Structure 1
Amino acid sequence: MSTVRPLLFALLPLFGGCQLLTSFTEQPTPAEPRFQGQLSQSGDQLLFQPCQAKTRYQLTGAQTEQFAEQTKALLADNGKPLFADLRGTPEALDLSKGEGRLVVSKIYRIQAEGPDCNDPNFKRLQIRAHGNEPAWNLNTSQRGMVLERMGQPSLALPYLEEQLPDGSTSISTDADGLKLELWLTPQSCTDSMTGSIEHLTAELRLNDEVLHGCAAFGARRSD
């Protein structure tokens, strides 16, 4: 049986200050902390330095191993550190040198381009989905969704979210004359233009058009 979360939102700007007209239940926060920061490489070791922190962590764990080769290739192509958003358990190695080890349990995204430590919207976001050819971007928050498409004005819309037993998520709306449904599946996705890695695969069905892309949870989603 699917679960419909109470996410039918008022038609409000995504980041506006208006009062929300419906309630929202936060997801339980996992015990392991979530980090954003710079990802680099020293020899064969991947290193991670959280935003506004001095400690550098050696990345370990199954998730690190799964994406190690792809990450190293992206680092080589980019020629500079990447931005990473991940969850894991930090372990101290040598605090006097500002070094530690981070056992990664989940990688949300690893990217060479796009939002980074200075992203002003990350703390408000639940989901950011996007794709190429044609370019599209869809952000959701507690206040609704914003759909952006190449050559068209941004649309602020209410939406309904449904979570299915297989871990996939459906986000839909019929507002503003659109029939929109965004399907998210818990399968890693590589951006076709930038090579960035994200933890969700996205399919946007917009009226009779089907668009593909990647997605990741923002700070307001921890599941």
Structure 2
Amino acid sequence: MPYVRPLLFALLPLFAGCQLFSVYTPPSPTAAQQRLQGELRLQQGKLLLRPCGEQRQLEVINDGSNDIAREAATLFADGNEQLFVDLRGTAGASKQAGLDGEISPSQVYRLQGEGPACNEPGFSSLLLRASGHEPDWSLGVSEKGLVLLRPDQEPLALPYVEEQLPGGNFNLSSEANGQRLELWLAPQRCVDSMSGAVQHLSAELRLNDKVLRGCASFGGARSQ
């Protein structure tokens, strides 16, 4: 027994060293996420993405975490030869000859068969875009404010406040110039009733006493 305590004290630095080693061991590297927009084509059963302004061709891997393959098949069946996609995912080297890489989407923000695609004006500065029909309306949000567009009416530009809510929901609200506007957004698949475009947010616009519904997606200046 008289030798036990000195032995324990002698081993303490060794135990401490082991703990420090485990604490400060750098974590294993993880693949970085990328956000890409571009042209999506179906070729020999594979979804191929050509990012905007590039010549690369990336295979879009459907690993079951999203429905991009099924959604794309529906839009291709409507007669679209190519689609526009806005997504975020993990990129890697391709296992197929003739391709420049592959990407596994973790989030598909927007998938559509018509529209301005890579040439959408002001996309890079947009935080959010939302739109709906019957009646038609569209709304763009940037750091400077929001603008609501409706047929036969002047654009309505307003400041806004954003509030985060449980479950990934959030809303934008504004009360200025005699107008009360609220945009409620929920993270759920939403299909445009006219074009069939798929977006990752459902939207409900409340303007004074009117309630308008539609879909929404993040702009180029926002990913979360």
TM-score normalised by length of structure 2: 0.81
Q: 2:138 matched to which residue of 1?
A: 137
Please report the RMSD computed on the Cα atoms of aligned residues, expressed in angstroms.
1.9
Give, as a single letter, the amino acid of the residue that structure 1 aligns with 2:107: K
Long gaps (5+) in structure 2: 1-30
CA distance 1:65–1:160, change in 2 (3 Å): closer
Find the residue that maps to 1:174 and give its secondary structure.
strand
CA–CA distance in structure 2, aligned partners of residues 129 and 78 of structure 1 = 25
Which of the two has greater helix per residue? 2
3-state SS of paired residue (2:171): strand
1:173 and 2:174 matched: yes
Q: Which residue of 2 aligns with 1:32?
A: 33
CA separation of 1:69 and 1:95: change in aligned 2, threshold 3 A:
closer
CA distance in structure 1 between the partners assigned to 2:84 and 2:184 by the alignment: 25
Secondary structure of 2:177's match? helix
Q: Distance in 2 between the 1:79 and 1:187 partners?
A: 24
Q: Which has the larger radius of gyration?
A: 2
Q: Partner of 2:5 in structure 1?
A: none
Alignment of 1:20-169 (within 5 A): 31-62=32-63, 65-93=66-94, 97-169=98-170
Q: Say which is worse superposed, 191-200 or 59-68, in terms of deviation.
A: 59-68
- Per-residue deviation, residues 137-174 of structure 1 (Å, max 9, x unmatched): 01110110001012111011111110112211110111
> Higher relative contact order at CA 8 Å, sep ≥6: structure 1 or structure 2?
1
Q: CA deviation at 1:78?
A: 3.3
| Equivalent-residue separation in structure 1 for 2:64 and 2:204 (angstroms) | 24
Answer yes or no: is the 8 Å Cα contact 2:80–2:113 preserved in 1: no
Does structure 2 retain, via aligned residues, the 8 Å contact 1:63–1:104? no
Q: Is 1:205 paired with 2:203?
A: no
TM-score normalised by the chain length of structure 1: 0.81
Query: For residues 43-63 of structure 1, what are the alpha-carbon distances to aligned partners after superposition, in whole Å with 9 as ceiling and x for unaligned?
Result: 322111111122211111446
**Separation (CA, whole Å) in 1 of partners of 2:166 and 2:65:** 27
Percent identity between the aligned chains? 47
What secondary structure does 1:101 align onto?
Answer: strand
Aligned residues: 194
